[in-house]
Structure 1
C-alpha cells in the first residue's frame, strides 16, 4: 500500500480507502461488511469513510458494530463522518440539517454514538450552506477539535471560492481551516480536481478524499449491456443516480475504454481507479465495493497506475473527451 499526506497535515492516509455510501445497510450487512473491511485493512487500507446521511445513520451503525468486533488498534486506522443533509431526508426539521453550530455539534455527537467511537479522525461539512456564516462554521469545527471530538475538519463538494474563504476566515481568527475536500472525481467528472481547485492546492495545500471513482459502477463496464440485478443502479430509490449515470453516450465511451484495459491486461475498474490516483493532488480514492472479488480487483490499481504512461493517458483523454 502507498500512503500520502493529507494536504499539509501530518496525517498519512492509504492511497486507496473504503467507504460505505449506498452499500452499507442497503447492500452490505454486518457479515459481508466485516469481510470487506477486514480485506481492506489487511491490504493496508487505513481510512474508512461514512456520513450521517448514509442510510439515515444505519451505515454508521453497521460500521461501528464491525469495528467494535474487529477490535483493531484504534491508532492504526482513520474514521470519518459528514454533516449537512441530516438523517431524515424530507422529514428533517430546520435544526436537523445544514451547517449551524447546533446541527454540526449534534451530528458529530450522534455519529460518535452510532459508531461507538470517542473521536472522529475526519469530519466534513457535506455541502456548503449559504444560510450559515463562514465564521460560525469555522469556529464550530475548531471547537470540536478543541474538545477532542474530531482531529481534522474538511469540506465536500464545496467550490474553490468557498474553501479559500474558509481558510481566510480561519487564518484571520487564528484557527484551523479545512484540511481536506471530498469531491467526486472520475473519468467523467474532472472539472473541479483538474481546474477549479488548482488555486486551492497551490495556496492552501488541501488534501482530497475522492468519491465515486467508478462513476457509480459505470466505469466497471458492468452496465455495458443493461442493468444487472442487485447492482447499485438497480436499487429503486437510487433511480436519480441511474438517470444521471446511465447515458448511452457514456456507456459507449466505456466500451471504447475497455480496449485500453485489455491491452494492459487489466480490468476497466482497476484502470479507472488507477487513473484517479495517478493525479498527485489525490490523497486517497474511496472504494465502494460490495463483493470481495470487486475489492480485490480494485486494489490492483496500486500496481497498475505507474504503468499509465503519457501515451496511455492521452489515449484515455481522447476516448473520454472530458479533460477540462
Structure 2
C-alpha cells in the first residue's frame, strides 16, 4: 500500500486507514484480529480508534492485539477524546488529559502517534482545549495532534492559534465525514484544512455503506440500516438524490470491471488534501473488498462524471 505524509508533517501513513468503531460491538475480538492481520499484510499502517468507541472496548481489543500479534513499531496508532461516556462534549484540559491517560492504559502503550480532539466543545475556551494538546506532546504521550468534526472556522482558528507561538503542537490532521454523498465540507472545511497544511482523514468514505450499492433494491438483513442502533445513521442517504449518485458509481464500476466500493473509495482517496480515508468494516471479508481499491486509479473522465453527478447545488458562501 502506498504511503502519504499527513499534511505537511513528517509522519507517513498508509493511504487507507483502518477504522475500529465497530470493534467490541458489531465486531468481536477474533474478527478484529483478522481485520488487523489483513490490513497489515496489505501494507496498511494507520489504525484509528477513540476512547468512546464501544465504551472503551475498541481500544482494549486493539491494545490486546498490539501486545499479542501486531508489530507496534510498524503501525501508526491514532485515538480521540473530548466526548464523555454520557455523550456530553468536554474539551476541558482536565478531562482531555485524564481521557488520554485512560486511552493509553486500555491500549497498553506509553504513547500514541496521533491524538485528536473528537469534537469541538463550545463551552470550553479553545485555548484551554489546545493547551492539552501541547501538554500531551511535551509529556511524550503523543507524537502528533489533530482535530475531528470541526467546522471550517474552527479548524482555521485552532491551526492559527497553534502557529502563533513557537513550541505549540501544530494541527496536522482533520477527521471529517467525506464521500460522494457528503461533499459539503468542500465549501469551507477543506479549504481551511489545506490552508492549515493539515491532512484530511475522511470517515465514512463509502457514504455510510450506501455507495457499495447494497441498498439499491432494499435493506438487506444484517446491514447497518437494518440494525436498530445504526438505522438512523444510514437513513439520510437512502433518498432519491443519493440513489442517483449510487447508480452512477455502479455504472462506472461495471465499465471498469471493479466493485462500486472500489470506485467510491478511490474517488475520495485521491481528492485534494486527503491523506487516508478511514474504512470501518464489520467483517474481515468486507475489509478485504476495501483493500482491493488500492490498485485502482480512476480515469479522469470517470472522475469528472462522478464530480458532476455529485456536485453540490449552489450555496453561499
Fold match (TM-score > 0.5): yes
Matched, 1:272 2:270: no
Deviation at residue 28 of structure 1 after TM alignment: 0.8
2:55 corresponds to which residue?
56
2-side partners of 1:50 and 1:321: how far apart?
Answer: 31
1:253 aligns with 2:245: yes
Q: Which runs of 4+ in 1 moved over 3 A?
A: 321-324
Change (3 A) 1:275 1:109: same
> Aligned residue for 1:213?
205
State which of 303, 311, 318 in structure 1 corresponds to 2:301. 311
| 1:6 aligned partner | 6
Structure 2 residue aligned with 1:320? 310
Structure-2 separation of matches of 1:62 and 1:235: 22
Conservation of the 8 A alpha-carbon contact between 1:257 and 1:319: no
Shift of 1:71: 4.2
Structure 1 residue 201: Cα displacement: 4.3
Kindly report which structure 2 residues correspond to 1:1-324, keeping only aligned pairs within 5 A, or say none: 1-21=1-21, 23-72=22-71, 74-89=72-87, 97-174=89-166, 175-192=168-185, 194-305=186-297, 308-322=298-312
Distance 2:220 2:104 in 1: 36
- The 2-side partners of 1:52 and 1:173 are apart by 29
Q: Structure 1 pair 6/323, CA: closer, same or farther in 2 (3 Å)?
A: farther
Does structure 2 conserve the Cα–Cα contact (< 8 Å) formed by 1:187 and 1:322? Answer: no
* Cα separation, partners in 2 of 1:138 and 1:108, compared to 1, 3 Å: same
Give the secondary structure class of the aligned counterpart of 1:9: coil
Q: Distance in 2 between matches of 1:160 and 1:151?
A: 24
Shift of 1:204: 2.4
- 1: CA distance between counterparts of 2:306 and 2:95? 43
Change (3 A) 1:43 1:71: closer
Counterpart Cα distance in 2 of 1:283 and 1:292? 23
Aligned 8 A contact 1:24 1:33 in 2: yes
- Displacement of 1:228: 1.5
Query: Would you say how many aligned residue pairs link Structure 1 and Structure 2?
Result: 313
Check 1:211–1:136 CA distance in 2 against 1; reply closer, same or farther (3 A cut).
same
Structure 1 stretches lacking a partner, 5+ long: none
The answer to whether the 8 A contact 2:152-2:193 is kept is no
Which runs of 5 or more structure 2 residues have no equivalent in the other structure?
none
Displacement after TM superposition at 1:239 (Å) = 2.9
Deviations 1:55-91 (A, max 9, x none): 121211122222221141x2211111111222233xx
Contact 1:4/1:12 (<8 A) preserved: yes
TM-score, structure 1 normalization: 0.91
CA RMSD of aligned residues (A): 1.7
Q: CA deviation at 1:215?
A: 1.1
The structural deviation recorded for 1:44 is: 0.6
Q: CA contact under 8 A between 2:155 and 2:189: conserved in structure 1?
A: no
Larger relative helix fraction: 1
Q: 2:159·2:196 contact (CA, 8 Å) conserved in 1?
A: yes
